[in-house]
Structure 1
Amino acid sequence: MLQSALATGLRQTMQRLVKPVLSPLVPIPVQRTLTRQAYRSSIPPRGCRFENTRLGGVPTVKASYGKPGKRAVLYFHGGAYIIGSPQTHQGLTGHLAKASGAVVYTPDYRLAPENPYPAALDDAVATYRALLDQGYQPEHIAIAGDSAGGGLTLALAMRLRDEQLPQPTSLTLFSPWTDLTHSELAAPASEPVIPQAWIDKAASLYRGNEPLTSPYISPIYGDLSGLPPMLIQVGSEEILLNDSERLAAKARRQGAQVQLEVYNSLWHVFQVHAGQLARATDAVQTAGEHIRRCMAL
């Protein structure tokens, strides 16, 4: 009963306070400021440690819990490539550090419109290379991300494959944004978080001079063969539901190992409520187990 009431309250908070900010009519600097305040309610687990560092020249926040050893998760935050930061996602990355038993590195990759594609992807490659340079073995590295960060996770894995660099052990994708054309968005009865007009504008700001169907921008249009095992988690109450379902189907057709989990009555990147909402906590725990299993821990 308490969890049901909490879910209702969180859904209403997203609908009434967060969704109105995510509008093309709201200046992006204001969006960044207000969403940073909204994410203050996403709290990392007690005992989680955060440290500012750099990877490949990119400012990065390092989250650790317990004694993780030489194992790393490279995590890319969401925000439609125009908002968000490692700080906004400390609650989620802190819980993922605890669940995975690994150090979680969250790069502060460059955002549009100041830095359109390929800036974010170039930063992602630089941070991954930096982990290798620091002595992390590919078999002890995982990549994860939410929303735009989920799309960036896929784009990075594809580029690593295309450039014949060592692949990570796994990909973990929370509500990934994989089709920036928005040609096949879902139509849920309720969408508490994302207005389509906002992601339409964000896509146009991020694309630079490239078509939205470019595989490194919209990975659903790319070759998904040869990628590491994927875990995809998505809520039933989000317009990006089809992005996850189409991605899972295509990846399976092309020989990838995929686990798709659809969480009924939950919304876009509900995992930010880990530590409060039991289903979100369980989802992050499942993600941590996926990462551990693929690292053979």
Structure 2
Amino acid sequence: MLQNLLETSLRQTMNRMVRPLLHPAVPVSLQRTFTAQAYRSSVPPRGCKFDTVTIGGIKGTRTRHGAATEGVVLYLHGGGYIIGSSSTHRGITGHLAKASGHTIIAPDYRLAPEHPFPAALDDAESAYEGLLKEGHAPASIGIAGDSAGGGLAIALAMRLRDKGRPLPASLTVFSPWVDLTHQHLYSPEREPVLQPRWIEKAAGLYAGKEPRTNPLMSPIHGDLSGLPPLLIQVGSEEILLNDAQRLSEQFNQQGSDATLEIYNSLWHVFHVHAGQLSRATDALAEAAAHINRHRAK
């Protein structure tokens, strides 16, 4: 009963406070400031340790909880490629670190419009290669991300595969943004977070002069074969639901292994409420299990 009331309260909060900020008329600079404040409600678990690090020349945040294993997760934050940072996502990385026992590395990849495509992808690749240079075995590395970071995680795996580089053990994405053409957006009865006009503006800022069908920007338009096992988690109350389903179907049809989990009555990247909302905490526990299941022991 209390969890149902909490879900209702959080949904209303997202709808009244976050969704209005994610509007094309709000300057990106203000969106960055306001959303950074909003993310302060996403609280990591007690016992987390956060350190500023540089991996592969890219600054970011290292998150640990307790005695970490040798496993590491490269976590790519969301924000439409225009907002967000490793600091805003400490709630998610903290709970993922606790649930998985892994060290989480969240790089602060460059953002648009100052740095359009492929800056974010280049930085994500540099961070991954940095982990390899530090001695982390590919089989001990997972790549995860939410929203734009989820799409970036898939794109990074595709680029690594195409270059013949060692692939990570697993991929884990939350509410992934994988089709910047927006041709198949879902129309839920309610959408507490995202506005189509906002993601359209964000897509234009990130794409610049590049066609949005570029698979390294919109992975759903590319070859998804030969990629690591993928877990997709998405809420039923978000406009990206169709794209998550399409990603899962194409992943499996092209010979890779994808698992899709749809959380009824939850919204875009509901994982930010882990530690408060039991279903968000449980979802991250499932994500951690996926990562651990595929990591070489």
TM-score tier, shorter chain, comes to over 0.9
Q: Trace 1:242-257 onto structure 2 (pairs within 5 A).
A: 242-257=242-257
Aligned to 2:209: 209
Percent identity for Structure 1 against Structure 2 = 62
Aligned to 1:272: 272
Counterpart amino acid of residue 12 in structure 1: Q
Aligned to 1:122: 122
Whole-angstrom distance in 2 between the partners of 1:281 and 1:141: 22
Counterpart amino acid of residue 124 in structure 1: A
Counterpart amino acid of residue 191 in structure 1: E
Counterpart amino acid of residue 14 in structure 1: M
Which segments of 5 or more consecutive residues in structure 2 lack a partner in the other structure? none
Aligned to 1:231: 231
SS state of the match for residue 282, structure 1?
helix
Task: Report whether the alignment pairs 1:34 with 2:34.
Answer: yes
Task: Report how far residue 296 of structure 1 moved.
Answer: 4.2
Aligned to 1:190: 190
Whole-angstrom distance in 2 between the partners of 1:17 and 1:118: 31
Counterpart amino acid of residue 45 in structure 2: P
Task: Report how far residue 224 of structure 1 moved.
Answer: 0.3
Whole-angstrom distance in 1 between the partners of 2:232 and 2:161: 20
Once the two structures are superposed, what CA deviation does each residue of 1:21-58 show, in whole Å capped at 9, x if it has no partner? 00110010100000000000000010011000101111
SS state of the match for residue 63, structure 1?
strand
Whole-angstrom distance in 2 between the partners of 1:120 and 1:257: 25
Task: Report how far residue 71 of structure 1 moved.
Answer: 1.4
Whole-angstrom distance in 1 between the partners of 2:66 and 2:270: 25
Whole-angstrom distance in 1 between the partners of 2:6 and 2:26: 29
Task: Report whether the alignment pairs 1:48 with 2:48.
Answer: yes
Computed over aligned residues only, the root mean square deviation of the Cα atoms, in angstroms, reads: 0.6
Q: Trace 1:72-221 onto structure 2 (pairs within 5 A).
A: 72-221=72-221
Aligned to 1:67: 67
Aligned to 1:20: 20
Aligned residues: 297
Once the two structures are superposed, what CA deviation does each residue of 1:232-256 show, in whole Å capped at 9, x if it has no partner? 0000000000110000000000011
Whole-angstrom distance in 1 between the partners of 2:280 and 2:229: 22
Counterpart amino acid of residue 37 in structure 2: Q
SS state of the match for residue 10, structure 1?
helix
Whole-angstrom distance in 1 between the partners of 2:86 and 2:160: 23
Once the two structures are superposed, what CA deviation does each residue of 1:188-214 show, in whole Å capped at 9, x if it has no partner? 000000000000000000002210000
Give the alignment's TM-score, normalised by structure 2.
0.99
Task: Report how far residue 69 of structure 1 moved.
Answer: 3.1
Whole-angstrom distance in 1 between the partners of 2:242 and 2:296: 31
SS state of the match for residue 168, structure 2?
coil
Once the two structures are superposed, what CA deviation does each residue of 1:249-269 show, in whole Å capped at 9, x if it has no partner? 000000111110000000000
Whole-angstrom distance in 2 between the partners of 1:99 and 1:230: 18
Whole-angstrom distance in 1 between the partners of 2:27 and 2:251: 37
- Dislocated runs of 4+, deviation >4 Å: none
SS state of the match for residue 155, structure 2?
helix
